[in-house]
Structure formats: C-alpha cells, structure tokens
Amino acid sequence: MTVTVYVPRDSSARAVGADEVAVALTAEAARRGDDIRIVRNGSRGMLWLEPFVEVDVDGTRIGYGPVQPGDVAELLDAGLLSGADHAVKHGAVDEISWLTRQDRLMYARMGVIDPLDLGDYQAHGGLVGLRKAVSMAPQDVVDVVTASGLRGRGGAGFPAGRKWQTVLGAPGDTKYICCNADEGDSGTYADRMLMEGDPFTLLEGMTIAGLAVGATQGYIYLRSEYPDARDILGAAIEAAREFGWLGGDVLGSGRAFDISVRMGAGAYICGEETSMLDSLEGKRGMVRAKPPLPALEGLFGKPTVVNNVLTLGSVPFVLAEGADAYASRGLDRSLGTQIFQLAGNIKQGGVVELGFGVTLRELVEDFGGGTASGRPIRAIQVGGPLGSYLTADQLDLPLEYETFAAAGAMVGHGGIVVHDDTVDMAQMARFAMEFCSEESCGKCTPCRVGSTRGVEVIDKMTAGDDRTGNLTLLLDLCDVMTDGSLCAMGGLTPMPVRSALTKFPEDFGLTPQEVTP
C-alpha cells in the first residue's frame, strides 16, 4: 500500500534541508522497495521543527522533526512509515498542543493540503466564501467585510470594509485590486508562508474583493526576495484559470476577474502603498502625497483597493463563516485573528494565529519558549524595523492595535523579534537610522537627510563625544522626522530609536535621568 509522506516545500523548510530530505526519502524508499508518495505541503508553522516530516498512518498524520537528510535511513529502519517511536517523533500532528492552542482561521489549511491541489483546497473549505460572494450583490459583500471588523493587516490597521466601500462608490469602469506582498519587515514572514503554503486562499480573497468593488484585474506586488512564492503563485493562478475561476467568467457568474504577479526589485519602501503603486506602474518607487487616496486615484490613476496579503487572506473565512464568526474573535476594536510571527533569538520560532488580545508573554514564553540562546530576554521589537523596542517588563501587554499605540508601540504586521541580553541597543538604534538611509525613497528631506544625520549623531554619542548635546540633537531630529516625513518610513524610524534611548540609556552611555523628557 502506498504511504503518503509530507515534506514541506516552504522556503524556510527548504533553507534547512527539506529538499534534501525529500530526495533522501525517495532514494531510500526505492532502495528498500517501500511504496511511498511524497507530497510537498506548506509548513505547519512550527519552524524550529523544520524539516518537519509527516507520515499518514491509517488516516492520522504522525510528525517527525527536525529531520536531517542523514537521518532518513535510520528513521526508515526505525519504522517511520508505520509511525514508530523515535527521538524526533512528535505524535499525531493534530494533537500537538502548539497547534491545538491556536485558532487557525486563515491558516486552517496551512501545512495540511498540497498547496497547488484545487481538489484538496475545496475538500478543506476552499472556495466556499467565493461561491457565496458570486451570488451576492457587491454592496452586500462589502457590508459583510465591514461588519466583520476586519482591519488592514499590513500595519496601519485601516478598516478594510471602509476602503472597499470607497472603491465601490468611486465612479469609473476600470478599477483594480492590488495585493501588497512586499513583506519587507524583518521578523515577518506570514505573507510568504500563505503564498507558498496556501496560495488559493489569497487568490480567493482577491477575487471576492474584485467582485465586491467591480474590479476585473488584480495585481500581486511580490518582493523579489521571495522567488518560491512567485513560482507557486504563478502555478496557482494557472490552475485557477483552467478551473474556470480566474478569467472571463468567474465560476460561471458571467463576471470577469484575473490576477497577475509583478515583481519588486529590492526596495523596502515599495511596501508603502503609494510607492508600491508607482513601482507597479513600472516607475521608481517614490511615495505619493495623499490625497488623492489610492481608493479614488490609485493604480494608473484608477480607483484601487490596496490590501495586504493577510487582509485579503482573511476575507474567504469572513464570507464563508460570516461576519459574526470573525468578529467574535479579538479584543475591543481589533477584531478577528492575527498571524503572529515569532522571530529572531527565539527557541521555538514560528507562526501563531490567535485572536487579538493575546499577550506578548503567551507568545514569546508559552509558544516561543524564550530565547534560543537560553539567555534572558532583553528587548523585543514588535511590528518590524519601524516598531518600538519593548522590555521584558512589558511582556504582559496584550497585542491589540490601540493598547500598543497607547504604550508608544505598534502591532504592525505582527512580527515579534526577540533579542537576548547580548544586544547592544545603541547599535540597534543606529541600524534603524542606517536602514532608513539605505531604503528612503528620497522624496522628503526629513527622511532622506535626517536618517543619515541620525547615524552620525548616534556614532558621536557612542564615541563619547558630547553625549548630552548630541542627545538633544538626536531627539530634535526624531521630532522633525516624525512630524515632517511624507510616509511611515521616515515618520516611524524614530520609534525604535527613541524606545532604545529611553529604555536602554546605558547602552548610549547615558543615565535614565538624562533621557527622561
């Protein structure tokens, strides 16, 4: 009897040997005459266990990991194909508490299905949302999304329904859906995992958005650092066209919608929505002034929905299960679930989907298991390179947009980067400025020039050159960047800098009194 073995094709799994494991399994099984079928699934998100191999034993998937290519022969000897015990066995995957403690809505199929098998996708709830949307009036679809409370997952948290309503109401025959897949924030990889592990969910969300606002063309703006996602999305789009989903007649509705992937070229700023639109048009990725809103004058000057991968990826569930089911998760005005991503110096790194309101401690300690180095946590950066640094004393903060904002921090795209006590926070502050100077589009002076001056001022401080005078200068510079920058790049770079200064003054050779305003 053929035994099905799952070996992830997720690029993080591949980066630590999943391809070699798949090759070794094929070769060893052939040598032994074992009849196996290898499915390259997405990752379950327990990345510290990658390569994580699953074996289907009488309908139950048994997990082993991390598996190295050199372990394969020994694992087969031990009885891998019948789910036998082994030091790296984790038992039935469905019963692993790291997974059962989560509330996977958008990520329900992640690691479960073959990412490019439309039959598998539908057998696990795929296309239910789109089939409903096809039979609904556009306004009704927008109303469901509005009622769900879904907010933009790219970082800004703008209500998705309100954006869709604006585009639906905008005059014009040509409208676009643009998916921002320029996931440039270090510490975030949930977009990548969805695109690689369950691409149809994103395509379904985009199609629903297109039907809702009257757009017939969607673009995915994908960063060039994600070549695997490009290949998988391309194959998924082809499969959806052949199926009669994408193209001139969406699931027999008589309405058209198609999707193209366009690649970025290594510019962080193109994750900013207006810069992304310019880049999609084939131009330099320069930030545009707002207004006009992209919802009214977006791509090629047409009304455009710009949403993040995770925003659009949430939509199929919202349509399938209803607004109330989605809004029953979360806290206050942050409704639904977020894909939190544990990264950096973390023992058990990976993705955790839970309703907003989960605390940092639950994520970093309970799920993450503390630092990988075993040393104490010193600083945690939430929300990407433009997010504030938090201390180990702030672990009880619930991850919720407004609570974080009140604490001078931001949830952003849900990335959580842990640093142990060896981190030099003056160097991290310097890096924030250096990164901004590397990646600034150059349109506005506070960002373009301020970031370079910021690096210089921090260098003077750490060299011991007039620390208090330069501190005044740095804080002043942060004010100018915050108040005077055109977009979040220059406007938020002071967040990590200020938080490093006020919470870790000793790293700058300063006392707490000196940095207290």
Partner 1 sequence: MTERSLSEMPGGASYDAADPDSARVRALAEARSGELGPLMEILHDIQHTVGYLPASTVPVLADVLNLSRAEVHGVVSFYSDFRTSPPAATTVAICRGEACQAVGAEALVDHAKTKLGVGVGEQSADGSVGLEQIFCFGNCALGPTATVAGRLRGRLTPASLDALIDDAAPGARQ
| Tokens matching residue 100 | 């059962």
Contact residue for partner 1 among 84, 88, 96, 263 (CB under 8 A): 263
> Judged by CB under 8 A, which of 226, 257, 356, 404 binds partner 1?
226
Length of the chain: 517
CB of 64 to partner 1, least distance (A): 18
Question: Which listed range, 67-75, 249-257, 321-329, 432-440, lies at the site for partner 1 (CB under 8 A)?
Answer: 432-440
Longest dimension (CA), the chain: 76
Q: Which of 98, 268, 340, 356 binds partner 1 (CB under 8 A)?
A: 268
- Indicate whether 67 belongs to the interface with partner 1 (CB under 8 A): no
Among 107, 326, 404, 435, binds partner 1 (CB under 8 A): 435
The sign of the torsion formed by the CA atoms of 238, 240, 241, 243 equals: positive
Nearer to partner 1, 149 or 414 (CB): 414
Contacting range for partner 1; rule: CB under 8 A; set: 28-36, 241-249, 281-289, 352-360: 281-289
Give me the least distance between CB of 270 and partner 1, in Å please: 9
**Structure tokens belonging to residue 508:** 């700058």
Contacts with partner 1, 174-203, as mask; x by CB under 8 A: ---------xxxxxxx-xx-----------
Q: Which of 253, 160, 260, 242 is nearest to 209 (CA)?
A: 160
Compute the half-sphere exposure of residue 229: CA atoms within 13 Å on the CB side of its CA: 27
**Is 312 an interacting residue with respect to partner 1 (CB under 8 A)?**
no
Of positions 304, 338, 381, 440, contacts partner 1 by CB under 8 A: 381
Cα–Cα separations (whole angstroms), residue 101 to 97, 191, 317, 353, 367? 6, 21, 19, 9, 9
d(CA 53, CA 72): 10
Burial 141-154 (b: 16+ CB within 10 A, else e): bbbbbbbbbbbbbb
The smaller minimum CB distance to partner 1, of residues 148 and 279, is found at 279
Selected from 79, 244, 266, 408, the binder of partner 1 by CB under 8 A is 266
Token pair for residue 81? 């194909």
Residue closer to partner 1 by CB (options 17, 63) is 17
Total residues binding partner 1 (CB under 8 A) = 59
Q: Does residue 343 interact with partner 1 by CB under 8 A?
A: yes
Q: Between 126 and 384, whose beta carbon lies closer to partner 1?
A: 384
Are the CB atoms for 382 and 341 separated by under 8 Å? no
Among the listed residues 33, 265, 516, 517, the single contact to partner 1 using CB under 8 A = 265
Return all residues near 364 (Cβ < 8 A) that are at least 6 apart: 342, 346, 370, 377, 380, 395, 416, 418
111 binds partner 1 (CB under 8 A): no
66 upstream amide cis, omega within 30 of 0: yes
Tell me: does residue 485 bind partner 1 (CB under 8 A).
Answer: no
Burial class (CB in 10 A: 0-12, 13-18, 19+), 35: exposed
429-460 burial: b if 16+ Cβ within 10 Å, else e: bbbbbbbbbebbbebbebbbbbbbbbbebbeb
Q: Under the criterion CB under 8 A, does residue 204 sit at the interface with partner 1?
A: no
| Binding residue for partner 1, selected from 3, 16, 108, 147, defined by CB under 8 A | 16
Nearest residue (CB) to partner 1, 286 versus 296: 286
Which spans of this chain sit near partner 1 (rule: CB under 8 A)? 11-12, 14-16, 47-48, 50, 183-189, 191-192, 224-226, 262-268, 279-285, 300, 341-346, 349-350, 372-373, 381, 385, 415, 417-420, 423, 428, 431, 435, 438-439, 441
